[in-house]
Amino acid sequence: MELSIDRLTKHYGHKIAVDRVSAVLSPGVYGLLGANGAGKTTLMRMLCAILEPTSGEVRLNGKEVSAMGEAYRNVLGYLPQDFGYYPSYTAAEFLCYIAALKGIPRQAAQKRVKQLLATLELTAVANRKIKTFSGGMKQRVGIAQALLNDPYVLILDEPTAGLDPKERVRLRNLLSEYAGDKIVILSTHIVSDVEAIADEVFVMNAGQFIAHGTVPSLAAQVRGKVWELTVPREQARSWQEDFTVANYRHEGDQVVLRIISEYMPSAEAHICEPILDDAYLYYFGAKEA
């Protein structure tokens, strides 16, 4: 199984939303990190063949997905950032309806819906109307509909939005297990979700991949640029104005700052081992002093 992205580009008039993006993906979990407006959703919609690219192509096992039609949709699962649902449907009714749209036979659909409701801990509310659900419960219904056809390519746009910490951990474990022989693409700006499960991470900004690699390799790119410094509380604000501060921790009358900087911010600062959060802030929040 191989999903190939070749110089994929999308223009809206004079605006370039995605700019010549290329990658080759095999089974595993791929994190797509970027700030709002980086082009993540546009890219994912093109990967799903919902949006036609201005140029470039997406191929699954050598076949262009736009030409595959239903054959591609049969192996694709997609959770958009705001998935549509019928508020008056129960969770079970909605999933059975989506299964019918996907062409899943009735008996198989009922079995699969029951299984997914249990997996996502929705069995107890299966017969409640979706309009009565919390945001996290609605999001779990959205994840379930993406998994209905047991897709080989699973694309999730901000899947942890609205989930509490326990639900986020459950979803991460589910996706990690699912990706054994599947391609899972996870778009988010929540770094910890990507850090926990991604085999490879693509950092996107202004429509391009500006960095990619494993979590350790991306963190290593900012080695020597992450510092810790303890300052009096009344001085903390001025440090925040002049530097990118990754963490701010009170210790009595002092404040411990974790600073991203190309150079030593103070003689009292000491170097820290970087994590993915630091790399993200380096790419999207770095400031010169």
Domain with residue 62: its CATH number is: 3.40.50.300
Cβ-Cβ contacts under 8 Å for 48 (sequence gap 6 or more): 76, 78, 155
Structure tokens at 40: 């993540």
Average model confidence (pLDDT) for the chain? 93
pLDDT at 246: 93
Q: How confident is the model at residue 35 (pLDDT cuts 50, 70, 90)?
A: confident
Decide: helix, strand or coil at residue 256.
Answer: strand
pLDDT at 82: 84
- Please say whether the beta carbons of 141 and 94 come within 8 A: yes
pLDDT at 271: 97
Q: Which of 212, 229, 261 is the last residue before a domain boundary?
A: 212
> What range defines the domain where residue 255 resides?
220-285
pLDDT at 287: 40
> What percentage of residues in the chain have a pLDDT greater than 90?
84
pLDDT at 190: 82
Check whether residue 135 and residue 236 sit in a common domain.
Answer: no
Check whether residue 53 and residue 81 sit in a common domain.
Answer: yes
Of 83 and 49, more confident: 49
Check whether residue 197 and residue 143 sit in a common domain.
Answer: yes
Q: Which of 195, 212, 229 is the last residue before a domain boundary?
A: 212
pLDDT at 12: 94
Report, as an integer, the average pLDDT of 150-158.
96
pLDDT at 78: 97
- Please say whether the beta carbons of 76 and 115 come within 8 A: no
Q: Is the pLDDT of residue 85 over 80?
A: yes
Structure tokens at 122: 């929705």
Q: Which of 212, 237, 271 is the last residue before a domain boundary?
A: 212
Q: How many CA atoms lie within 13 A of 90 on its CB side?
A: 12
Express each pLDDT in 255-285 by its tens digit.
999 999 999 999 999 999 999 999 999 988 7
Give the DSSP H or E segment for 278. helix 276-285
The CA distance from 55 to 39, in Å, is: 15
- Please say whether the beta carbons of 179 and 150 come within 8 A: no
Report, as an integer, the average pLDDT of 133-150.
95
Check whether residue 260 and residue 205 sit in a common domain.
Answer: no
Provide the domain count of the chain.
2
pLDDT at 288: 33
Check whether residue 107 and residue 65 sit in a common domain.
Answer: yes
pLDDT at 116: 97
Check whether residue 126 and residue 48 sit in a common domain.
Answer: yes
Check whether residue 205 and residue 226 sit in a common domain.
Answer: no
- Rounded to the nearest angstrom, the gap between the alpha carbon of residue 75 and the centroid of all alpha carbons in its chain is 20
Q: Is the pLDDT of residue 36 over 90?
A: no
Q: How confident is the model at residue 140 (pLDDT cuts 50, 70, 90)?
A: very high
User: What CA dihedral angle connects 127, 128, 129 and 134, to 10 degrees?
Assistant: -140
- Please say whether the beta carbons of 173 and 57 come within 8 A: no
Express each pLDDT in 171-183 by its tens digit.
999 999 999 899 9
pLDDT at 102: 93
Check whether residue 153 and residue 247 sit in a common domain.
Answer: no
- Please say whether the beta carbons of 35 and 188 come within 8 A: no
Check whether residue 98 and residue 134 sit in a common domain.
Answer: yes
pLDDT at 33: 93
Instruction: Supply φ then ψ for residue 140, to 5 degrees.
Output: -70, -35
Check whether residue 234 and residue 199 sit in a common domain.
Answer: no
Please report which residue ranges of 164-235 form alpha helices under DSSP H.
Answer: 165-178, 191-197, 215-220
Check whether residue 242 and residue 121 sit in a common domain.
Answer: no
- Please say whether the beta carbons of 207 and 37 come within 8 A: no
Report, as an integer, the average pLDDT of 225-249.
93
Check whether residue 15 and residue 59 sit in a common domain.
Answer: yes
Cβ-Cβ contacts under 8 Å for 25 (sequence gap 6 or more): 2, 3, 4, 5, 183, 185
pLDDT at 109: 96
Q: How confident is the model at residue 289 (pLDDT cuts 50, 70, 90)?
A: very low
